[in-house]
């Protein structure tokens, strides 16, 4: 009996040594995301707007470059951005408008990705559920968190094995934002505007 007790105690100690807290898992997720930043990240962002409905955007990012694709009311919109310039294609006007990108004019998707930076700061983290392939967390804003635009609650799913995000959902400024279907490996060509890819389109340079 004493030997059995010793074995059980040993296993508990070993398990405790390898056990990870929710914050440790999420911080590891941030580290893994940073490793893939130079490779490029793809995701779908769903923005649920009261009365209007849900708008879905495909986002491709690589380094400082970004490409977003969305469709609303039958109109296709594709936006390219780098550190200085934005190119906006609109299928209704059949135009590509080129403008200088101001600091205050940065795309919403860049702000969305910033949600992953130090995501646990100012939040209480709870592991709601654990399955064979993922952890399901809820992050609730602490009273001491005075950041006005910080979501009150964030739901996050992290894949086991890779420690990469599977989905993130948060309410921001009355909108419900969900990021999902993450993939890694985006080519430079995918995020670089090329006029040859838009034959017959009027290009209006406003820089």
Tell me, what's the pLDDT at 14?
35
Tell me, what's the pLDDT at 6?
45
Tell me, what's the pLDDT at 42?
92
Contact between residue 33 and residue 164 where contact means Cβ atoms under 8 Å apart: yes
Q: What is the DSSP letter of 102?
A: -
Angstrom distances, CA of residue 30 to CA of 34, 35, 161, 202: 6, 9, 14, 41
Tell me, what's the pLDDT at 106?
54
Tell me, what's the pLDDT at 49?
82
Give the span between the Cα atoms of 204 and 4, in whole angstroms: 78
Tell me, what's the pLDDT at 19?
53
Strands 95-100 and 202-205: parallel
Is domain 21-116+173-205 annotated with CATH 2.50.20.10?
yes
Tell me, what's the pLDDT at 117?
67
In three-state secondary structure terms, 6 is helix
Per residue in 85-122, pLDDT (tens digit) is 999 999 999 999 999 987 655 555 454 555 566 788 88
In order along its 207 residues, the chain shows pLDDT tens digits of: 444 444 443 433 333 333 578 888 998 888 888 887 778 889 999 988 887 788 899 999 888 899 999 988 888 999 999 989 999 999 999 999 999 987 655 555 454 555 566 788 889 999 999 999 999 999 999 999 888 878 889 999 999 989 999 999 988 777 888 999 999 899 999 999 999 999 999 999 998
- Which sequence spans correspond to the domains of the chain? 21-116+173-205
């Amino acid at each position: 009996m004493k030997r059995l007790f010793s074995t059980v105690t040993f296993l508990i100690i070993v398990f405790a040594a390898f056990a990870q807290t929710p914050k440790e898992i999420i911080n590891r997720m941030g580290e893994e995301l940073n490793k893939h930043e130079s490779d490029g990240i793809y995701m779908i962002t769903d923005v649920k707007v009261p009365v209007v409905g849900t708008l879905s955007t495909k986002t491709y990012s690589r380094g400082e470059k970004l490409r977003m694709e969305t469709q609303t009311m039958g109109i296709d919109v594709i936006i390219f951005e780098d550190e200085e310039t934005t190119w906006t294609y609109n299928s209704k006007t059949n135009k590509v408008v080129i403008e200088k990108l101001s600091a205050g004019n940065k795309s919403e998707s860049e702000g969305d990705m910033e949600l992953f930076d130090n995501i646990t700061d100012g939040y209480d983290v709870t592991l709601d559920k654990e399955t064979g392939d993922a952890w399901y967390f809820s992050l609730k804003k602490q009273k001491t968190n005075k950041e006005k635009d910080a979501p009150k609650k964030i739901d996050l799913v992290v894949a086991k094995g890779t420690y990469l995000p599977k989905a993130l959902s948060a309410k921001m400024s009355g909108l419900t934002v969900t990021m999902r279907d993450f993939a890694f490996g985006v080519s430079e060509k995918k995020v670089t505007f090329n006029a040859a890819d838009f034959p017959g389109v009027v290009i209006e340079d406003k820089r």
